[in-house]
């Protein structure tokens, strides 16, 4: 059986601006990683030996001392113009002492609030419930022994991943002007890259979709949780379907995307399902990695 697949430069999936960082997804897929705050970009690992450390908030003693110093620098020279008398007390001095007490009280309250906010835990948004598995499709399947090639095969029309509760129509995707892979305009559907082989034929068929958006999880939010041996079903326009078995799930940095391994020629019918993942870079408005599911046509 011959090889099939693109031989020239291939597009890399890029996240559009509507993709949005989700703290729950970040916590799920990268345990132990500290989630960056808004406006903070995590420095690359290869940037050098220097690391950035967050500046600790001032202690309540520092706040109280600074406030008292500023207050006294303004008021004590004025107070010294009124000598203390044992027989009576200056009303202005009494007013100044009262103001000092009120100022120190305010400082104490502010310091307590600062300490409380510094010690309060940051609660990540809860994960959405995992989808309930759905029954596997029952359409007539395509077997490896009856593989068609190229235009002889019917176009894909829908995708189903029963273990993730996914059943979606497939739209057609091309290449954008900058050379990156086009992505669906909606986060609720997936798309088949028309420059790749049709699912069920020899070669690496490419299907892509969103992980999440500003409004919530996308069609492939749970894609990374697939396991080896799970099934993926792709329906075709002629009423048949190609059934694929997951062989591995990988996450790749976008600047190190293995184009040949994902798009390259293979001797059998395979499938690649791609979405975004990893850390969300707010300065770029996109994720820094891609999650790729590799699958092979079931025998």
DSSP 43: P
Same domain, 145 and 280: yes
DSSP 13: B
Same domain, 102 and 215: no
Same domain, 257 and 112: no
Contact 271, 207 (CB under 8 A): yes
pLDDT for res 226: 97
Same domain, 211 and 181: yes
- Residue 178 belongs to some domain of the structure: yes
Same domain, 225 and 292: yes
Give mean pLDDT, residues 9-37. 45
Convert the pLDDT of each residue in 75-86 to its tens digit.
565 545 555 554
- Residue 33 belongs to some domain of the structure: no
Contact 232, 206 (CB under 8 A): no
Which of 74, 90, 119 terminates a domain? The answer is 119
Give mean pLDDT, residues 152-161. 93
Calculate what percentage of the chain has a pLDDT beyond 70.
56
Same domain, 139 and 114: no
Give mean pLDDT, residues 38-54. 35
Give mean pLDDT, residues 143-164. 82
pLDDT for res 257: 93
Question: When comparing pLDDT for 127 and 223, which is higher?
Answer: 223
How many domains are there within the chain? 2
Biggest alpha carbon–alpha carbon distance for the chain: 113
For residue 299, pLDDT beyond 80: no
Same domain, 91 and 215: no
Tokens of 186: 């909606």
Compute and round to an integer the Cα radius of gyration of the chain: 31
Which of 73, 97, 119 terminates a domain? The answer is 119
Band of residue 8 on the pLDDT scale cut at 50, 70, 90: very low
Q: Which residues form the domain of 257?
A: 132-297
Whole-angstrom Cα distance, residue 84 to residue 133? Answer: 84
Same domain, 253 and 184: yes
Point out the least confidently predicted range of 27-31, 165-169, 276-280, 295-299.
27-31
pLDDT for res 222: 96
pTM, two decimals, is 0.62
Query: Strands, E, within 139-178: which ranges?
Result: 140-141, 156-161, 166-173
Question: When comparing pLDDT for 256 and 65, which is higher?
Answer: 256
Whole-number average pLDDT of the chain:
75
Q: What are phi and psi of 48, to 5 degrees?
A: 140, 180
For residue 248, pLDDT beyond 90: yes
Same domain, 186 and 100: no
pLDDT for res 98: 61
- Residue 35 belongs to some domain of the structure: no
- Residue 244 belongs to some domain of the structure: yes
Same domain, 156 and 93: no
Question: When comparing pLDDT for 219 and 281, which is higher?
Answer: 219
Convert the pLDDT of each residue in 160-183 to its tens digit.
999 999 999 999 999 999 888 999
Same domain, 110 and 145: no
pLDDT for res 217: 93
Convert the pLDDT of each residue in 198-245 to its tens digit.
999 999 999 999 999 888 899 999 999 999 999 999 999 999 999 999
Contact 295, 271 (CB under 8 A): yes
For residue 20, pLDDT beyond 50: no
- Residue 96 belongs to some domain of the structure: yes
Q: Residue 224 is part of a domain; what is its CATH number?
A: 2.40.260.10
- Residue 76 belongs to some domain of the structure: yes
- Residue 8 belongs to some domain of the structure: no
Same domain, 106 and 147: no
Crossing angle for the helix pair 91-119 and 60-79, to the nearest 10 degrees: 170
Nearest CA to 221 among 156, 282, 166, 158?
166
- Residue 17 belongs to some domain of the structure: no
pLDDT for res 260: 93
pLDDT for res 28: 45
Which of 71, 88, 119 terminates a domain? The answer is 119
pLDDT for res 108: 62
What sections of the chain are H helices per DSSP? 23-29, 60-79, 91-119, 259-263
Question: When comparing pLDDT for 80 and 138, which is higher?
Answer: 138
pLDDT for res 76: 61
């Amino acid at each position: 059986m011959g090889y099939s697949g693109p031989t020239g430069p291939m597009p890399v999936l890029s996240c559009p601006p509507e993709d949005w960082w989700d703290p729950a997804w970040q916590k799920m897929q990268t345990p132990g990683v500290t989630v960056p705050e808004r406006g903070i970009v995590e420095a690359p690992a290869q940037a050098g030996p220097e690391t950035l450390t967050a500046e600790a908030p001032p202690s309540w003693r520092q706040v109280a001392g600074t406030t008292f110093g500023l207050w006294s620098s303004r008021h004590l020279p004025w107070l010294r113009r009124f000598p203390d008398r044992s027989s009576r007390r200056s009303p202005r001095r009494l007013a100044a002492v009262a103001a000092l007490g009120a100022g120190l009280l305010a400082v104490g309250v502010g310091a307590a609030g600062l300490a409380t906010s510094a010690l309060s835990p940051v609660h990540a948004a809860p994960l959405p419930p995992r989808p309930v598995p759905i029954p596997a499709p029952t359409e007539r399947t395509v077997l490896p022994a009856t593989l068609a090639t190229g235009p002889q095969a019917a176009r894909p029309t829908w995708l189903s991943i029963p273990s993730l509760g996914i059943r979606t129509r497939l739209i057609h995707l091309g290449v954008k002007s900058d050379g990156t892979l086009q992505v669906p305009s909606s986060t609720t559907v997936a798309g088949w890259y028309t420059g790749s082989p049709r699912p069920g034929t020899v070669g690496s068929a490419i299907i892509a979709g969103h992980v999440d958006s500003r409004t919530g999880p996308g069609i492939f939010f749970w894609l990374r949780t697939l396991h080896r041996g799970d099934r993926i079903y792709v329906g075709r326009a002629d009423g048949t379907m190609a059934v694929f078995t997951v062989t591995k799930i990988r996450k790749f940095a976008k600047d190190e995307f293995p184009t040949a391994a994902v798009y390259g020629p293979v001797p059998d019918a395979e499938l690649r399902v791609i979405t975004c993942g990893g850390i969300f870079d707010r300065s770029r408005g996109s994720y820094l990695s891609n999650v790729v599911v590799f699958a092979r046509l079931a025998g």
